Amino acid sequence: MVKVLTTSPGFGKHGRVPDEIAAHGWDLVRCDDTSKPDGGVSEQIADADILVVGLVPVTADTLVGADNLKAVIKHGVGVDNIDIPACTAKNMPVCNTPAANADAVAELAVGFMYAMARFIPQGHVCVTSGKWERRVGTQLGGKTLGIVGLGNIGKRLAKLAIGVGMKVVATDPYADMAFAKENSIEILSLEDLLGKSDYVSLHIFGGKDNAALINPDTIAKMKPGAKLINLARGEVVDLDAIAAALDSGQLGGVAIDAYVTEPPETSHPVFSHPNAIFTPHSGADTKEAVENVGLMVVEDIATIMEGGMPKRCLNAGDLK
């Protein structure tokens, strides 16, 4: 029997995915023990065939003793928590599921913008606490959205924002210029984007190259009162700088879905700020997206177990 380990809490639970796994006859083992750094992978990996990864890091140490492992597959898009060279050294394909959850993440970004523009969380607290304090917000139409990272999610978000009457600018060193031209999206440097945007939405990979991309210096370049959305990775933003900017009014609001440590340490002052919104890394958590991602993972597992190479393999050119 094929043994599939997963550290993703959503894999194999939604839509048609459980039936597909059962039809293949695979043994799905969940490694979600939060008391262990690897979720318990090390205790199960010796005879595992496939590792389906959530947010738990996969390092060279993870792969020690994984002599039967045939592939590492991300249940999602970002692979910054997977040591791809270490997998390649053991001749293991690494796959992900590009675009499968792009609509879900983009829609949450729009939800965040509306929530901040119309003070929806504050209004909810006001009414449920017995108060009646009406706050005058702003409309999204006519405002400028700056998208940092014009990949699959950034493109979906751009379309949605344009649909509600926003102007969209973007920064991305590998921008799809044909898409940008077709949708009248101006491609700018990060500095210029920050200076022009009423809302800034982050859709980039984590890792050292983007660590603390939003910091005191970059926040100072933003329009006073601009609002920030982080649906990327926790390390992309400096929470100390964000808290200070919210206090000073340089930032008019922030919405965050990803954290360096999950769940985060909520004693940090940013978590008590009235103009901050937080969600539990749920950008991709829609029934539709989780099913789409899961079906792509199932397809790749089946391909690998049949001796093939998935089309979504990220290191195919380096494998023997």
- Partners of 6 in beta bridges: 30, 52
Q: What is the pLDDT along the chain (320 residues), one digit of tens a residue?
A: 999 999 999 999 999 999 999 999 999 999 988 888 889 999 999 999 999 999 899 999 999 999 999 999 999 998 999 999 999 999 999 999 999 999 999 999 999 999 999 999 999 999 999 999 999 999 999 999 999 999 999 999 999 999 999 999 999 999 999 999 999 999 999 999 999 999 999 999 888 889 999 999 999 999 999 999 999 999 999 999 999 999 999 999 999 999 999 899 999 999 999 999 999 999 999 999 999 999 999 999 999 999 999 999 999 999 98
Instruction: Specify the pLDDT at position 32.
Output: 87
Known catalytic residues are 233, 262, 281
| Alpha-carbon gap, residue 184 to 258, rounded angstroms | 30
Q: Are 84 and 53 in contact (CB under 8 A)?
A: no
Instruction: Specify the pLDDT at position 208.
Output: 86
Instruction: Specify the pLDDT at position 92.
Output: 96
All structural domains of the chain, each given as residue ranges with its CATH number in brackets, are: 3-100+286-318 (3.40.50.720), 102-278 (3.40.50.720)
Instruction: Specify the pLDDT at position 131.
Output: 97
Q: Are 63 and 86 in contact (CB under 8 A)?
A: yes
**Six-digit token string for 116:** 């901040």
- Partners of 53 in beta bridges: 74
CB-count burial class (<10 Å; 0-12, 13-18, 19+) for 149? buried
Whether the pTM exceeds 0.95: the reply is no
Q: How many residues appear in the chain? A: 320
The tokens 């029934």 sit on which residue?
287
Instruction: Specify the pLDDT at position 41.
Output: 95
Beta strand 94-95 with 199-202: parallel, antiparallel or unpaired? unpaired
Instruction: Specify the pLDDT at position 259.
Output: 96
Burial letters for 269-305: b for 16+ Cβ neighbours within 10 Å, e otherwise? ebeebebbbeeebebbbbeebbbbbbbbbbbbbebbb
